[in-house]
Amino acid sequence: MEQIRADKLTLGYGRKDVVKAVDLSIHKGEFLSIIGPSGVGKSTLLMGINATTSILGGSLNVLGQDVSSIRNGDLKALRSKIGVIFQGFNLVSRLSVLDNIASGMLHRKPLLSAIFKHYTEQQYEEIYEYMKVVGIEEEALSRCDRLSGGQKQRVAIARAIAQHPEIILADEPISSLDPVSARSVLETLRNANEKYGITVVANLHQLEYAREFCSRVIGMNSGRIVYDGPPERLCQATVEQIYCSHTSREQQNTGSFHFPFSPAAAAA
């Protein structure tokens, strides 16, 4: 089932176009990563799916809604079906793991029970299930500011799952994590994808992880999609096309660039 469809979609800020005439079709249950150099429009495209960046041209349909003409009520309903995960976790640090995960259920709970953090037995059971899916049940009552980065990101994933989303958008979910934590976060996203059939679209800077975890990779450069296919077909020449042409332009501006992956892994 097609969940996201972009036709000649142009997104940007003010009159500046950042994502340029992109065609894209994403189906339920895909685990997809968007890769590419810094500044090419990956976050702009991801947040466009969540209807937070302006459509300057073309069309975008997400979960059956035409995003360019969406009304406020429908927009709220659409966003409730999309979980968003950020590099910086965006948890309420002084609240416990349990309360943070429960906040993902807000749109499904009466306001007063949300304010007084009153959960029914069924809700406790549900939250516990999500804790087990992300492997954080032993920290259920810990304050989130006492957790490691990897644990925080797993709580953020559990909170997103608690939202009962159709889609999870993850903007660089592992960029601030060490390799072991990064891997456990991606495994957790894969669990959510496989167990609940949630479509996952993640911006990643680490090509090795995109190859290992994702069924499909989109390579972006200068606001355009220059590769769209399975990770196995990503050959060295394509990787260079994704990263290098933008690089030379970036270098003129910044004077420096570092490959975000190991060339050995890319050639493998």
Query: Which residues lie near Mg ion (CB under 5 A)?
Result: 42-43
- The contact set with ligand ATP (CB under 6 A) reads 13, 18, 36, 38-44
Between 20 and 42, name the residue whose CB sits nearer to Mg ion.
42
From the list ligand ATP, Mg ion, none, partner contacted by residue 39 (C-beta under 5 to 8 A by kind): ligand ATP
From the list Mg ion, ligand ATP, none, partner contacted by residue 219 (C-beta under 5 to 8 A by kind): none
Between 4 and 162, name the residue whose CB sits nearer to ligand ATP.
4
**In angstroms, rounded to a whole number, what is the distance separating the alpha carbons of residues 147 and 244?**
38
**Cα angle at 246 between 33 and 178, to 5 degrees?**
45
Between 17 and 137, name the residue whose CB sits nearer to ligand ATP.
17
**Considering the complex, what minimum distance in angstroms separates the CB of residue 61 from ligand ATP?**
21
Token duo for residue 230 = 């399975």
**Considering the complex, what minimum distance in angstroms separates the CB of residue 36 from Mg ion?**
9
**Contact by Cβ (8 Å): 14, 42:** no
**Cα angle at 30 between 25 and 36, to 5 degrees?**
70
From the list Mg ion, ligand ATP, none, partner contacted by residue 48 (C-beta under 5 to 8 A by kind): none
Between 113 and 175, name the residue whose CB sits nearer to ligand ATP.
175
**Considering the complex, what minimum distance in angstroms separates the CB of residue 34 from ligand ATP?**
8
Residue nearest to Mg ion as judged by C-beta position: 43
Between 193 and 221, name the residue whose CB sits nearer to ligand ATP.
221
Please give the full DSSP string across 114-177, using - where no structure is assigned: HHTT---HHHHHHHHHHHHHHT-GGGTTSBGGGS-HHHHHHHHHHHHHHT--SEEEEESTTTTS
Between 43 and 151, name the residue whose CB sits nearer to ligand ATP.
43
**Considering the complex, what minimum distance in angstroms separates the CB of residue 44 from ligand ATP?**
3
**In angstroms, rounded to a whole number, what is the distance separating the alpha carbons of residues 130 and 132?**
5
From the list Mg ion, ligand ATP, none, partner contacted by residue 18 (C-beta under 5 to 8 A by kind): ligand ATP
Amino acid at site 265: A
**Considering the complex, what minimum distance in angstroms separates the CB of residue 242 from ligand ATP?**
12
**Considering the complex, what minimum distance in angstroms separates the CB of residue 134 from ligand ATP?**
24
What are the b/e assignments for 92-114, b being 16+ CB within 10 Å?
A: eeebbbbbbbbbbbeeebeeeeb
Task: Look at the block and give the residue holding tokens 């989130």.
Answer: 144
**Considering the complex, what minimum distance in angstroms separates the CB of residue 134 from Mg ion?**
23
Helix, strand or coil, per DSSP, at residue 21:
strand
**Contact by Cβ (8 Å): 184, 1:** no
Between 44 and 188, name the residue whose CB sits nearer to ligand ATP.
44
